[in-house]
A and B are shown apart, each in its own frame.
Chain A
Amino acid sequence: TQLLEQSPQFLSIQEGENLTVYCNSSSVFSSLQWYRQEPGEGPVLLVTVVTGGEVKKLKRLTFQFGDARKDSSLHITAAQPGDTGLYLCAGDLEAGSYQLTFGKGTKLSVIP
């Protein structure tokens, strides 16, 4: 059973386009994180959201946590080739566990 489902799995867009990737679950999360991972490296934390409906911005990246804290989205404005990479969402279930559950990721390619 996929606790965290990310879509799309793969996304290829032209430089300058906007895009949104999604992270969905039937479970409620206490907090949710977005990471970016390069091949052969560890996930690098981009943002943490904790409140339902919360929106956080990091330059051209906008992150939103769903009102029910079951889903999240990452929107990139005017994508650049440097945005190419694997974007992972991860969260801790509200039941009180501190372990992170990861999605499989969205592999983004931005073509110059």
Chain B
Amino acid sequence: EPEVTQTPSHQVTQMGQEVILRCVPISNHLYFYWYRQILGQKVEFLVSFYNNEISEKSEIFDDQFSVERPDGSNFTLKIRSTKLEDSAMYFCAMPGQVGNEQFFGPGTRLTVL
């Protein structure tokens, strides 16, 4: 079972500011995913990233969002100019061995004021 850590656990930012959320897999993975969950709502897919390229993205993942693997180990999700509606839990996930199972990190709670 892949292990994943995410930093920060909680980020508070002002509307219009840029935020960078980080995901660090314990073992080497080429494939990872980002999801978000607005409070009280279901988990929603944002983007999948394979071998340093975006492989799929949802309608939510607009030009304000970007993903990178800056140093070959951790993965980042950047929101360029945050909006109030970006307030949510953001999860990264890694693939498992069976079907398309994915193992989720503990999440970053983003609060945009």
- A contact residues vs B (CB 8 Å cutoff): 30-33, 35, 40-45, 48-50, 88, 90-92, 97-105
Contact = CB atoms under 8 A, between A and B. Distances in A.
- 8 pairs of A and B residues whose beta carbons are closest in the complex: A31-B99, A42-B104, A99-B45, A92-B100, A48-B101, A102-B43, A50-B99, A48-B98
B109 A40 contact: yes
Contacts of B55: 98
Contacts of B31: 98
Contacts of A99: 33, 45, 48, 56, 58
A100 B103 contact: no
Given A30-B100, A99-B33, A99-B48, A43 B42 contact: no
Chain A interface mostly: strand
Contacts of A44: 104
Contacts of A105: 42
A101 B45 contact: yes
A88 B104 CA distance: 13
B37 to A, nearest CB: 9
Nearest to B103: A45
Most buried by A among B31, B42, B55, B109: B42
Contacts of A45: 1, 96, 101-104
Given A33-B101, A48-B101, 16 more contacts: A30-B99, A31-B99, A33-B99, A40-B107, A40-B109, A42-B89, A43-B43, A45-B1, A48-B98, A88-B43, A97-B56, A98-B95, A99-B48, A100-B100, A102-B43, A104-B41
